[in-house]
Structure 1
Amino acid sequence: MLLHFFKKQSLFIFLLLSVICSHQLKAQDFKDVKEFFTFYPNRKAVQKDSTLYLAKFIAAPVVSYSPETNFGFGTGAKYLFKFKGSGPETRVSNMPLSLRYTLNNQFILYSGFEIFTNQEKWVIEGNLLFRNYPRLYYGIGRDSKKEDEEEYDYYQVLVEPIFLKQLFTRYLFIGAGFRYNQIFNTRIEEDGLLNITKPNGFDGSRAIGIEAATLYDSRNNVLNAQKGWYLEFTHGEYGEAIGSTHNFNLTKFDLRHYFSPIPNSKDVLAIQTLGHFSRGDVPFNELALFGSNQILRGYREGRFVDRDLLAAQAEYRKRFGESRFGAVAFVGAGDVYNSVDDFQFKNLRYNFGAGLRFMVDRLEKLNIRLDWGFGQSSNYIYLGIAEAF
């Protein structure tokens, strides 16, 4: 275990040195590199009409790292734009797309998009995902054992668009959408715990449901907020009558607040509370997963699995003057449980950690992030683009 820890520490130092070495690049050199990967689809139109937003299509090789994937290599693209007729009152729409292959033999195609129409009368958001994904399984419940670890593999297709209309006030949006999530070609260990216990949908499932959604989003920047509130609440009903393999419902909420704790400072304190609650004949792959590169960093995604998850985290984000560099420190806590009666504060598991930031786009405040998260008996490194939340 000690050797494993120092291997991780060496990896962290290597990545840290790589980031520091990049500081030796001249500002103009870095700008030239960034511009090489940036395309401007409406540049000519903007030259004729300065009221238009200069849209950007950024495509570049990407490297990522997380405990679930090991190193991932591929291509990342991000389309940042505003519709014609949108002014400063409309935030920039973000349509990312990433295609990665990892050292754990995983293939991942993903887009999590957020589109604002003119004057933000509508918001269109959602997720598109296709992947084959070996995952570790330890059993269901908060008391699953590390020694029961086994690997299972599956393919996943997820399509989840949500359409929201601005109602009542500037930042409040209400709407609905649908969610299609299919797990197939599942491969499990013949004599493993998953095959012995056979939870609902362990060998594949299909969830098709209608989602009602409410969004309050006053963030000043979608990619890296410095101030504002974000609250997303969704409730989905899934049934065999509309094509699902199981009858169940799924409720999620995501509450965040961003503010500067020091007046006239660029430092940001970000706070998030996250909930996942499922009821009915819930298939295995729709249960809540404890740990990820976004929440409860320091635990493997799915280290603990159950019907419900409640978690919170706080992150202090420090900018070093006018440079592209920054650092963060974070703490969090959470738990999975089977029903509301099972939740107890004494059962919370905690995490903490720190990380570095390098701003690749000053205008959109887009960062490369390198985090080292610690759980109660585990620690992991994360390398990626954009903030954890």
Structure 2
Amino acid sequence: MLLLVLAVYLIPYPAFSQNIDALQEFFTFYPNRKSVALDSSIYPSKFIAAPVISYSPETNFAFGIGAKYLFKFAGSGEETRVSNMPITFQYTLNNQYFLYSGFEIFTNQEKWVIEGNILLQNYPRLYYGTGNRTEESAEEVYEYNQLLIEPIFLKQMFLEHLFIGGGFRFNHIYNTEIEEDGLLAINRPDGFEGSTSVGAEVAALYDSRDIILNASTGWYLEFTHGKYGEVLGGTNNFNLTRMDLRHFLRVSKNNEDVLAFQFVGRAVRGKSPFSEFSLLGSSEIMRGYREGRFLDRDFLATQVEYRKNFKNSRIGAVAFLGTGDVYNNIDEFQFSGLKPNYGVGVRFKIDKEENLNLRLDFGFGRGTNEIYLSIAEAF
């Protein structure tokens, strides 16, 4: 990233932009290039890939690839938004791995939306105990393997941007390793030695965003409710409810700046395993806290982000502010107990046509801070 910043100052912008376009082309593959050459009405699908290097105390150095597959089904026109299938793979010097895809696919004329997550990982998680007042000094490492599969199928109904449907979620935790005489060994929460969650979900989605990867206008509201049970092959009986509300609007007609809002809620009821508890802290919301710094059954958080887009430039900047907390029950919510987070970031547009950014964020929380480098916006 430092080399990129230096290049902005040392290379004249037209030449710099041309070099970036050439670099982008080097990492971009067009699976349907021949079909597009024969029929210009076909959307040119793109597979954009780039090497990824990261470091954290838990994993040591990690190397891998980050990619996004952007496409439309044959017969889709301007009325159908671009489908997005991100793929991330990393392998660390500690022999850990991480493979993830969170996808959102639109069929022709957006009659159906297929979304969900696929995750396979052997990655450590930091554990500080359960609750919203755990101490930093209690930190310990929890090793485990995880396989998560969650497809959701939604059909457009009643309103133009409203989709209703359902799916299933399979979350398998295995090969767990805990610290001897640590908090997990003492507290022994249900499922700390491994668990399997299998559930059927109902879902509703309202999505009027203009661009999926980096929206400037529109609303996004997703609600899912899943019922998990031993009768389905799981180890526990419980319910999981999630909500994600976002809004994007242009700040002024005189510029391309965007104001973005998000509110997230998550609640677990019943005898859920430890692996299904809600985590505070991530690269997407409550930036500045390590993922899982606070852990409990329920989670509420909100954030607002100002996105500054400089005219005729690939460079952008953001400032964000948020707050949230975890609870054993939502009725424990108190404004005085909310944890703050804030930060700034820089953006570099790696694909002008798709409005796709490389983002570098510096997040700060209460007595903590984190750095995030990723492709696409946090939300």
Q: 1:172/1:71 Cα in 2 relative to 1: closer, same or farther (>3 Å)?
A: farther
Does 1:356 find its partner at 2:346? yes
> Alpha-carbon deviations, 1:205-225, whole Å to 9, x = none?
100000100000011111111
Q: 1:22/1:64 Cα in 2 relative to 1: closer, same or farther (>3 Å)?
A: farther
What is aligned with 1:3?
none
1:150 Cα deviation after fit: 0.8
Q: 1:27/1:94 Cα in 2 relative to 1: closer, same or farther (>3 Å)?
A: same
User: Please, what TM-score do these two structures have when normalized by structure 1?
Assistant: 0.93
Does 1:226 find its partner at 2:211? no
The 5 Å alignment of 1:29-40 reads 29-40=19-30
Q: 1:243/1:286 Cα in 2 relative to 1: closer, same or farther (>3 Å)?
A: same
CA distance in 1, matches of 2:121, 2:24: 29
What is aligned with 1:148?
138
- Asked if 1 retains the 8 angstrom alpha-carbon contact of 2:67 and 2:86, the reply is yes
The 5 Å alignment of 1:1-389 reads 15=1, 17-23=2-8, 24=11, 26-64=16-54, 71-102=61-92, 105-389=95-379
Q: 1:103/1:331 Cα in 2 relative to 1: closer, same or farther (>3 Å)?
A: farther
> Alpha-carbon deviations, 1:34-92, whole Å to 9, x = none?
11111112122112211111111222212346787565321122211111111000000
CA distance in 2, matches of 1:105, 1:291: 24
CA distance in 2, matches of 1:244, 1:31: 49
Consecutive aligned runs of 4 or more in structure 1 exceeding 4 Å deviation? 64-71
1:263 Cα deviation after fit: 2.4
> Alpha-carbon deviations, 1:164-216, whole Å to 9, x = none?
00001110000000000000000001210101110111111100000100000
Across the aligned residues of Structure 1 and Structure 2, the Cα RMSD in angstroms comes to: 1.4
Q: 1:199/1:60 Cα in 2 relative to 1: closer, same or farther (>3 Å)?
A: same
1:22 Cα deviation after fit: 3.6
Instruction: Look up the equivalent residue of 2:139 and give its one-letter code.
Output: E
Instruction: Look up the equivalent residue of 2:4 and give its one-letter code.
Output: V
**Higher alpha-carbon deviation: 132-141 or 45-54:** 45-54
> Alpha-carbon deviations, 1:312-339, whole Å to 9, x = none?
0000000111110000000000010111
> Alpha-carbon deviations, 1:235-286, whole Å to 9, x = none?
0000001111000000000000000122232100110000010000011010
Give the SS at the match of 2:44: coil
Give the SS at the match of 1:194: helix
> Alpha-carbon deviations, 1:131-166, whole Å to 9, x = none?
001111100001111111111100000000000000
- Asked if 2 retains the 8 angstrom alpha-carbon contact of 1:82 and 1:92, the reply is yes
- Asked if 2 retains the 8 angstrom alpha-carbon contact of 1:66 and 1:380, the reply is no
CA distance in 2, matches of 1:70, 1:272: 32
Instruction: Structure 2: give runs of 5+ residues left out of the alignment.
Output: none
CA distance in 2, matches of 1:237, 1:346: 33
Instruction: Look up the equivalent residue of 1:88 and give its one-letter code.
Output: E
CA distance in 1, matches of 2:210, 2:228: 35
Instruction: Look up the equivalent residue of 1:354 and give its one-letter code.
Output: V
